[in-house]
Amino acid sequence: MSDAVNLSLYEFATCPFCRRVRAFLAQIGREVESRDVMRDPERLAELVDATGRTTVPCLRIESEDGEVRWMHESADIIAWLGDHFAKAT
Protein backbone atom coordinates (compact mmCIF):
# COMPACT_ATOMS: atom_id res chain seq x y z
CA MET A 1 0.00 0.00 0.00
CA SER A 2 1.19 3.49 -0.79
CA ASP A 3 0.99 6.68 1.21
CA ALA A 4 -0.02 8.49 -1.99
CA VAL A 5 -3.54 9.84 -1.77
CA ASN A 6 -3.73 11.60 -5.13
CA LEU A 7 -2.13 10.62 -8.41
CA SER A 8 -2.38 12.56 -11.66
CA LEU A 9 -0.78 11.67 -14.97
CA TYR A 10 0.22 14.57 -17.20
CA GLU A 11 0.10 13.18 -20.71
CA PHE A 12 -1.36 13.42 -24.20
CA ALA A 13 -3.18 10.82 -26.27
CA THR A 14 -0.66 10.20 -29.07
CA CYS A 15 2.42 9.99 -26.83
CA PRO A 16 3.72 6.39 -27.01
CA PHE A 17 5.38 6.62 -23.61
CA CYS A 18 2.13 7.88 -22.07
CA ARG A 19 0.29 4.94 -23.64
CA ARG A 20 2.85 2.60 -22.11
CA VAL A 21 2.10 3.98 -18.63
CA ARG A 22 -1.68 3.82 -19.29
CA ALA A 23 -1.36 0.17 -20.38
CA PHE A 24 0.47 -0.66 -17.16
CA LEU A 25 -2.17 1.14 -15.09
CA ALA A 26 -4.85 -0.95 -16.82
CA GLN A 27 -2.83 -4.09 -16.19
CA ILE A 28 -2.68 -3.44 -12.44
CA GLY A 29 -6.25 -2.15 -12.29
CA ARG A 30 -5.36 1.32 -11.05
CA GLU A 31 -7.27 4.46 -12.04
CA VAL A 32 -5.31 7.71 -12.23
CA GLU A 33 -6.59 11.14 -13.22
CA SER A 34 -5.48 12.07 -16.73
CA ARG A 35 -4.34 15.64 -17.33
CA ASP A 36 -4.00 16.14 -21.08
CA VAL A 37 -1.41 18.85 -21.67
CA MET A 38 -2.30 19.19 -25.37
CA ARG A 39 -5.99 19.84 -24.79
CA ASP A 40 -5.71 21.88 -21.60
CA PRO A 41 -3.18 24.75 -21.55
CA GLU A 42 -3.68 25.18 -17.80
CA ARG A 43 -2.44 21.64 -17.22
CA LEU A 44 0.61 22.31 -19.37
CA ALA A 45 1.29 25.50 -17.38
CA GLU A 46 1.02 23.52 -14.10
CA LEU A 47 3.54 20.99 -15.38
CA VAL A 48 6.01 23.65 -16.51
CA ASP A 49 5.61 25.68 -13.31
CA ALA A 50 6.25 22.63 -11.15
CA THR A 51 9.01 20.90 -13.12
CA GLY A 52 10.40 23.40 -15.59
CA ARG A 53 9.74 20.86 -18.34
CA THR A 54 7.05 20.08 -20.88
CA THR A 55 8.04 16.40 -21.02
CA VAL A 56 5.32 13.79 -20.62
CA PRO A 57 4.42 11.44 -19.16
CA CYS A 58 4.81 12.96 -15.75
CA LEU A 59 3.19 11.51 -12.65
CA ARG A 60 2.17 13.95 -9.92
CA ILE A 61 2.22 12.15 -6.58
CA GLU A 62 0.59 13.84 -3.62
CA SER A 63 1.13 12.07 -0.32
CA GLU A 64 -1.17 12.03 2.68
CA ASP A 65 0.86 14.77 4.37
CA GLY A 66 0.44 17.08 1.35
CA GLU A 67 3.95 16.62 -0.06
CA VAL A 68 3.96 16.65 -3.86
CA ARG A 69 6.50 14.80 -6.00
CA TRP A 70 6.75 14.88 -9.79
CA MET A 71 8.12 11.90 -11.67
CA HIS A 72 9.12 11.92 -15.34
CA GLU A 73 10.17 8.97 -17.52
CA SER A 74 7.73 6.18 -18.30
CA ALA A 75 10.04 3.40 -17.04
CA ASP A 76 10.48 5.16 -13.69
CA ILE A 77 6.73 5.78 -13.39
CA ILE A 78 5.93 2.15 -14.18
CA ALA A 79 8.52 0.92 -11.67
CA TRP A 80 7.12 3.21 -8.97
CA LEU A 81 3.52 2.17 -9.68
CA GLY A 82 4.54 -1.48 -9.65
CA ASP A 83 6.30 -1.08 -6.30
CA HIS A 84 3.34 0.72 -4.73
CA PHE A 85 0.24 -0.78 -6.33
CA ALA A 86 0.89 -4.05 -8.17
CA LYS A 87 -0.48 -7.07 -6.35
CA ALA A 88 1.96 -9.81 -5.49
CA THR A 89 1.29 -13.03 -7.33
Instruction: Check which CATH number belongs to the domain holding 71 and give it.
Output: 3.40.30.10
The CA distance from 13 to 21, in Å, is 12
User: What does the pLDDT look like over 11-44, one tens digit per residue?
Assistant: 999 999 999 999 999 999 999 999 999 999 999 9
- Using an 8 Å Cβ cutoff, are 57 and 63 in contact? no
Return the percentage of the chain with pLDDT > 70, whole number: 93
- Number of helices (H) and strands (E) in the chain: give both, helices first: 3, 4
Mean pLDDT of 76-87: 91
Q: Give how many domains the chain has, as a whole number.
A: 1
Is the pTM value of this prediction over 0.85? Answer: yes
Residues 6+ positions from 41 with CB-CB distance below 8 Å:
none
Domain encompassing residue 19:
4-85
pLDDT confidence of residue 86: 78
Mean of all residue pLDDT scores within the chain: 92
